[in-house]
Amino acid sequence: MKKAVPLTAAVLAAAVMPQSAVIAADTTKIGYGQGTACDNKNRPVDAVAFNSRFSDLGAYALTEDDSRIIISFDQGYENGYTAKILDTLRDKGVSAIFFLTGDYAKKEPELVKRMIAEGHTLGNHGMTHASLPTLSDDKAKEEIMSLHNFVLNNYGYEMQYFRFPCGEYSEHSLEIVNDCGYKTLFWSFAYKDWLTDSQPLPGDGLKKLTESAHGGEILLLHSVSSTNAAILGEVIDNFRAKGFTV
């Protein structure tokens, strides 16, 4: 997944400035979004641009494997659908990434243990789901590492991928995550699936997810969605029919 460091203005400045000079990373809070414009590979151009700008900080919205789609779930709270989602993933032979909040890791031990036992990857979504760019450096590190240590101590699992709560980040907070030994994974496709009382129709969800498929995709889904639980098997089948490994 690693790329050469892009020739950004900061890199150029570092090459010509005295070694004693320090260039501070930008602390501006940014709300991540992959936009709707796509390239000739059906990849969102904003996701491609994000990789180009931030992969040197271990942050990605896509992978470089054009043959693969990664399915990921954000686990903020349990709504009764995760077991069905896990059943589908098991039946389809698919491993996913589940980004846990601290509340989920503490309240749902049986589901977390099942995720681990069935070969899925656990990701870190923050102990309290706080917006990292709004925190001090020490608090941001605590938000990451307190959950890291909880999962390690209680489940014997060492997480290595982080997803920013609410998709809110800054260049400086990307550095903090990287300094904590984590890679940051955003996404290259998501849709409005998290409103439990306003779920997309299954047919509409299936159509959106199928038409948006692209190589290197990191798909963000929410496990609180009844629609996702209902259509996940068909989504996987459709991705495979397009020639992708899931």
Contact 206, 234 (CB under 8 A): yes
Q: Reply yes or no on whether 74 is catalytic.
A: yes
Catalytic residue among 26, 74, 87, 148: 74
Q: Reply yes or no on whether 193 is catalytic.
A: no
DSSP string covering the chain, please? ---PPP--HHHHHHHHS-TT---PPP---EE----S-B-TTS-BHHHHHHHHHHGGGTEESB-S-TTBEEEEEEESS--S-HHHHHHHHHHHT---EEEE-HHHHHH-HHHHHHHHHTTPEEEE--SS---GGGS-HHHHHHHHHHHHHHHHHHH-----EE--GGGEE-HHHHHHHHHTT-EEE--SEE-S---TTSPPPHHHHHHHHHHT--TTEEEEEETT-HHHHHHHHHHHHHHHHTT-B-
Catalytic residue among 125, 129, 172, 222: 222
Catalytic sites, residue numbers? 74, 222
